[in-house]
Amino acid sequence: MQGRYLTARPPAQGEILELITYNQQEYEHLDNLSLADLLAEIKPDRVNWLNVDGLTDNEIVAGIQQHFNLHSLLIEDVLEDQRPKAEEYDDYLFFTLKMVHSIKAGYIDYEQISFVLGHNFLISFQEKEGDLFDAFRNRIRLDQGRVRKKGADYLLYRLLDIITDNYYLVLDNVGERIERIEDELSEGITNDFTFQRIQRLRKELIYLRKAVYPVRDALSKLVKDDSPFIEPETTRFYADVYDHVVHLIDSLDTYKDLTTSLLDIHVNTRNNQLNQIMKVLTIISTIFIPLTFIVGIYGMNFKYMPELDWKWGYPAVMLIMFVLALGMLVYFKLKKWF
């Protein structure tokens, strides 16, 4: 096995270009080269993976378009935010989807990634630097697994599989947060912040569903159609990714129902808390109604009120008010009103 790494004049600022070419016997990894130098290193007898991080330099995108004769509508889909889809052209296959890196503090770190698959090449367009493929790049370099024995269609499958598997990690994060909120609600811990967290979960799940649902249709097209760019023996691998996506959709629907249930529990808990508060206030108000009545009577400014001249009048009235309040509390307790 042979391998080499080349470093030379860097490309335009904002773009990171990388080319990995390999077959079962040879491997090359080239980066920090100009686009012209990279394109000159493409070998027709190898699988050529050209990766572009960052889509800010129109000259680089135009150079790739011209070299591979890419359709202008395809380039438009690469540069603009698109719904995940698969389209087949005469000389290549186009596939685009959302690559979700993580969810942190309610913020979804994602980007659109687009692939152009030819008979001996794969081009990946990424919106920003950094992806999920570093471990896989190392596997290619070390000739681990079957990727070095397969064609570019198998390479695309592996990249799609990695992206899909990372959806599971992101979904696990959502599931853990749902469990924490469930535990808090079961303990009666609920406030405005809890409501905000539930709403944030709902928005994240809505985005994930929008990102995953179209992938199922795109993969279904690859599995069911006899594409000349995908070998028949590789189709079963795409079918496996399709099954994973279907399972993801089922999980998303389950989590969506759970968040709806959480919202219902939150609302019911807050209502119960409000009812408890209203019950206490009602009991207090009910107790003070007769007391206020008594105080109101002796607050009148009539000249002849016999009790006013009685030595024990004040203590007697206070005792009556105390006994009355205590009696009402006992009565409410016997009625199990609190």
Q: What digits encode the pLDDT tens for the residues 9-41?
A: 334 445 789 999 999 999 999 988 889 999 999
Quote the tokens at residue 298: 């002796």
Q: Is 178 helix (H, G, I), strand (E, B) or coil?
A: helix
In this prediction, residue 106 has a pLDDT band, given cuts at 50, 70 and 90, of low
Contacts of 307 (CB under 8 A, 6+ apart): 298, 313, 316, 317
d(CA 124, CA 122): 7
Question: What average pLDDT does range 245-250 have in this prediction?
Answer: 94
Question: What is the model's pLDDT at position 93?
Answer: 96
* Nearest in space to 21 (alpha carbons), one of 183, 147, 146: 147
Note the Cα 276 to chain centre separation in Å: 37
pLDDT at res. 224: 87
Looking at 3.40.50.620, 2.60.40.1180, 3.30.460.20, 1.10.1060.10, the CATH number of the domain 2-269 comes to 3.30.460.20
Confidence of residue 2 (pLDDT cuts 50, 70, 90): very low
Does position 159 have pLDDT exceeding 90, yes or no? yes
Lowest mean pLDDT among 1-5, 114-118, 279-283, 308-312: 1-5
Listed by start position, the domains of the chain span 2-269, 274-334
**Average pLDDT of every residue of the chain:** 86
Alpha-carbon dihedral angle through residues 169, 175, 176, 182, given to the nearest 10 degrees: 180
- Supply the pTM of this predicted model: 0.78
pLDDT interval class at 302 (50, 70, 90)? low
Q: Is the Cβ–Cβ distance between 124 and 50 less than 8 Å?
A: yes
State which CATH number among 1.20.1540.10, 1.20.58.340, 3.60.21.10, 3.30.70.520 fits the domain covering 274-334. 1.20.58.340
Instruction: Give the SS3 label for residue 61.
Output: helix
